Amino acid sequence: MSTVNETLTLRVTENTFEQDVIYNSNPVLVDFWADWCAPCHMIAPVLEEISDEYHDRLRVAKLNVDENPAIQERFGIRSIPTLMLFKDGELKEKVVGVQSKSQLNSLINRHM
């Protein structure tokens, strides 16, 4: 498990996805992103805030789609940013595009 920018956000890869997301005891919000994606950079600060606020109840993870094409294909990611909430090993909800903090809080709270 490696963190991003010394925050609570996980950086996951094809090698760590199962352990860090599917088998995580907490719900996990996964941000499918890429370095070249401007909207991905726009939503990043919101995800950091959520990671800090929910740190004991939810994990926020980032997966670079360019570096992890098998996971991108597995979940049919066609547009980024795509956010997927996993709980108990199952995909509970998926949203595409930049979301406001209140929209993300609502999504998270539906599954907590």
Residue 62 in any domain: the answer is yes
Total number of domains in the chain:
1
Q: Per the residue annotation, which of 34, 37, 95, 107 is the catalytic one?
A: 37
CATH of the domain at 80: 3.40.30.10
- pLDDT, mean of residues 77-82: 96
**pTM of the predicted structure, to 2 decimals:** 0.91
DSSP character for 18? Answer: I
Domain assignment present for residue 111? The answer is no
Query: Does residue 107 form part of some domain?
Result: no
Residue 109 lies in a domain: no
Is 8 a residue whose pLDDT tops 90?
Answer: no
Residue 76, in any domain of the structure: yes
Q: For residue range 34-65, list pLDDT tens digits in order.
A: 999 999 999 999 999 999 999 889 999 999 99
Strands 59-64, 82-87: parallel, antiparallel or unpaired by DSSP? unpaired
- Domain that includes residue 25, residue range: 2-102
| Averaged pLDDT, 88-97 | 96
Report the pLDDT value the prediction gives residue 7, as an integer from 0 to 100.
59
Has residue 74 been placed in a domain? yes
CA 27 to CA 10: how far, in whole Å? 13
Catalytic residue among 12, 21, 40, 60: 40
37 is catalytic: yes
51 is catalytic: no
